Amino acid sequence: MSRPRNILMAMNAFKGTLTSREAGEAVARGAARAGAGTTVLPVADGGDGTLEACLAARPGQRIAESVADPLGRTVTAEWALFDSVAVVEMSRASGLALLAPEERNPLVATSLGTGQLMDRALRRGVEHVVVAVGGSATVDGGMGALCALGFSFRDEQDRPLGPGGGALVDLRSIHFPEDEGRLGLPVWTVLCDVANPLIGPEGAARVYGPQKGAGPEDVDTLEVGLGVLTMILESDEEPYIGQLRGGGAAGGLALGLHALLAAELIDGADYILDWVGFERALAVAMEKFLTRLVWPPV
In this structure, what DSSP letter does residue 18 have? B
Strand partners, 182: none
Task: Please determine, for residue 259, whether its predicted confidence score (pLDDT) is greater than 90.
Answer: yes
The mean per-residue pLDDT over the stretch 27-39 comes to 85
pLDDT at res. 289? 56
- Predicted confidence at residue 264, as pLDDT, reads 97
Average pLDDT score over residue span 151-179: 96
Helix/strand/coil for 140: coil
- pLDDT score recorded for residue 290: 55
Burial of 149: CB neighbours in 10 Å, binned 0-12, 13-18, 19+: buried
- Average confidence score pLDDT of the chain: 91
Higher pLDDT, 239 or 257: 257
Q: Mean pLDDT, to the nearest integer, of 4-14?
A: 80
Distant-in-sequence, close-in-space partners of 43: CB < 8 Å, separation ≥ 6 = 10, 11, 12, 20, 53, 269, 272, 273, 276, 278
- Give the per-residue pLDDT at 1: 41
Average confidence (pLDDT) over 245-263: 97
DSSP secondary structure letter of residue 3: P
Using DSSP's 3-state secondary structure scheme, residue 61 falls into strand
Residue 3: predicted pLDDT:
52
Tell me which CATH code domain 50-273 carries.
Answer: 3.90.1510.10
Counting residues of the chain whose pLDDT is more than 90, the rounded percentage is 73
Query: Domain residue spans in the chain?
Result: 6-41+277-292, 50-273
- Across the range 240-261, mean pLDDT stands at 96
Residue 38 banded pLDDT, cuts 50, 70, 90 = confident
Longest CA–CA separation in the chain, Å: 85
Confidence band for 78, pLDDT divided at 50, 70 and 90: very high
Q: What is the pLDDT of residues 196-222, one digit of tens each?
A: 999 999 999 999 999 999 999 999 999
Confidence band, pLDDT 50/70/90 cuts, at residue 107: very high
Q: How confident is the model at residue 288 (pLDDT cuts 50, 70, 90)?
A: low
Q: What average pLDDT does this structure show over 150-157?
A: 97
Stretch 9-13: mean pLDDT, rounded?
Answer: 86
d(CA 138, CA 124): 27
Nearest alpha carbon to residue 146 among 163, 124, 169: 163
Q: What is the pLDDT of residue 179?
A: 79
Indicate whether 35 pLDDT > 60: yes
Stretch 165-171: mean pLDDT: 98
Q: Which residue has the higher pLDDT, 47 or 252?
A: 252
Give yes or no for residue 16 having a pLDDT over 80: no
- In one-letter notation, the amino acid at residue 33 is R
